[in-house]
Structure 1
Amino acid sequence: MSVTDLRPNLDYWQERVDMAAAFRWTARLNLHEGVANHFSLSVNDDGTKFLMNPNQMHFSRIKASDLLLLDANDPDTLDKPGAPDPTAWGLHGSIHRFCGHARCAMHVHSIHATVLASLADSRLPPIDQNTATFYNRYVIDEEFGGLAFESEGKRCAAMLTDPKVKTMIMGNHGVMVIGDTVAETFNRLYYFERAAETYIRALQTGQPLRVLSDEIAEKTAQELEEYPEQDVRHLAELKAILDDEGSNYAS
């Protein structure tokens, strides 16, 4: 029996399993920040009820049953036992409160994305297929205001109201990616970090960049958006590897 068949009596079990797998792989790929950073997933129609990781639990240990079920419209959330991290609540609660299309939100301080966010010019030019994926599909936050408590979270959420924009390069901070599902969002997070690494390494050569034309960059981005099931199959393969290893992520 696969560990994914072991289903405790918890709501939204498959969503929990997908989230737990994403946490485990984020840690394995060293995209995490110890016991900081947060992922969330809406589970109701208006997007205000969401799953999120517990306060300061390492991504490599998170299980499906560990995830918190929160209500973005509950003003007493931080006063309850087992409350989430205040900055996670400020950022993700605001996103799920004000951006109904952001069903899933993943925020990390991964190395190359954060290097990009630390440059005076944080644009990501389309120099290969991965960087072209994000052409005209990201926004740069130029106004970092400190830790993402509620007011900062609300300010960030206001930058994600355009459904076409699914990546926010958070100047001086890291990256936020959003999507409809865990699979889509994790796939976007993974490829953004790959894209940022390619660009940073290209800059390190000191050689001129071979930048794609606007026409080809947009064409490539559209083709990748329409590519069938890559995100679903990506996450399914990652879960299969965890299952083969006997991981307890789906418990």
Structure 2
Amino acid sequence: MDNDASREWEIRCDLAAAYRLIAHFCMDDLIATHLSARLPGGEHRFLLNPYGTMFDEVTASSLVVVDPETHVIEEEEESKINIAGFTIHSAVHMGRKDTQCVMHTHTVAGIAVAAQEQGLLPLSQKSMILYGGIAYHDYEGIALNLDERERLVRDLGGKDLMILRNHGLLTVGRTVSEAFLNMYQLELACRIQIAAMQGGQKIILPSEHVVAYTAAQCKHNRYNQSQRPWAALKRRLDRISPDYAT
């Protein structure tokens, strides 16, 4: 196996693992939403799940190769994709050359926070570590219009996390593991916010100084870029869902 083929298989296994983990942590939405990863080589090629496949069914070999215009490189019937879903992913892949992986979810907590005017509040350590790192994109309808791609990229800018207003969450990463850990942290922050607000009590917000200090501490720590949590997560998959790497 040459270097590009070996690297492609590694990316396939990581992306399939991410699909399984998104399902494991209850962040999937039946056959909707997507995780995508850029493949090595000079051509713009990306991996995406075949339309109709549940996240806990995705395997490394079942992932479909597509180009930025959503043309499926494999023409088999089982290789069809959700065109609307890839509008978002193609936009980010073409606009952010520094990223390898893009993840988009429709969770209850994520959509709930996306529908709140103030967005994500720094009311927990989970949200404070993301302070200043979240972009926002206004809802424009179902993502069928390719013209929206320019505005998506503009609103994301250089940030790695974005809340799609009234829609859901989006994260990117220089690796699949980084994109997943970004999504995991953002999702937990949203869940905590919704839970705290349901208590009916006044919310305590730390000072801006403390919030900024906490965010700086985490940025220096680079937790989401570490391979340790990703390796631990893949060990869990090896125990409970080992066929992801087939």
TM range (shorter): 0.7 to 0.9
Would you say 1:217 and 2:211 are equivalent positions? yes
Q: Is the 8 A contact 1:146 1:152 kept in 2?
A: no
The letter of the residue matching 2:160 is K
Deviation at 1:236, TM superposition (A): 1.1
Distance 2:41 2:73 in 1: 23
Distance 1:246 1:79 in 2: 26
Identity %: 27
Q: Give unpaired runs (5+ residues) of structure 2.
A: none
Distance 2:114 2:148 in 1: 17
Distance 2:29 2:43 in 1: 26
Q: Is the 8 A contact 1:91 1:157 kept in 2?
A: no
The alignment's TM-score, normalised by the length of structure 2, stands at 0.88
Q: Which residue of 1 aligns with 2:12?
A: 16
Deviation at 1:11, TM superposition (A): 5.8
After superposition, where does 1:60-75 map in structure 2 within 5 Å?
A: 60-72=56-68, 74=69
Q: Which residue of 2 aligns with 1:204?
A: 198
Q: Which residue of 1 aligns with 2:182?
A: 188
Distance 2:82 2:73 in 1: 8
The alignment's TM-score, normalised by the length of structure 1, stands at 0.86
Q: 1:235 aligns with which of 230, 234, 245?
A: 230
Structure 1 SS opposite 2:27: coil
Deviation at 1:229, TM superposition (A): 5.0
CA RMSD of aligned residues (A): 2.3
Q: Which residue of 2 aligns with 1:248?
A: 243
Would you say 1:117 and 2:127 are equivalent positions? no
Distance 1:131 1:46 in 2: 37
Q: Which residue of 2 aligns with 1:53?
A: 49
Would you say 1:127 and 2:123 are equivalent positions? yes
Going from structure 1 to structure 2, the CA distance change for 1:194 and 1:52 (only over 3 Å counts) comes to same
Distance 1:75 1:182 in 2: 20
Q: Which residue of 1 aligns with 2:142?
A: 147
Q: Is the 8 A contact 2:29 2:105 kept in 1?
A: yes
Distance 2:208 2:163 in 1: 20
Going from structure 1 to structure 2, the CA distance change for 1:80 and 1:137 (only over 3 Å counts) comes to same
Going from structure 1 to structure 2, the CA distance change for 1:68 and 1:228 (only over 3 Å counts) comes to same
User: What whole-Å deviation, never above 9, does each CA across 1:201-229 have from its counterpart, x for those lacking one?
Assistant: 11112222221222221221122123255
Structure 1 SS opposite 2:245: coil
Deviation at 1:125, TM superposition (A): 1.6
Task: Kindly indicate whether structure 1 or structure 2 has the higher relative contact order, using CA contacts under 8 Å at least 6 residues apart.
Answer: 1
The letter of the residue matching 1:44 is P
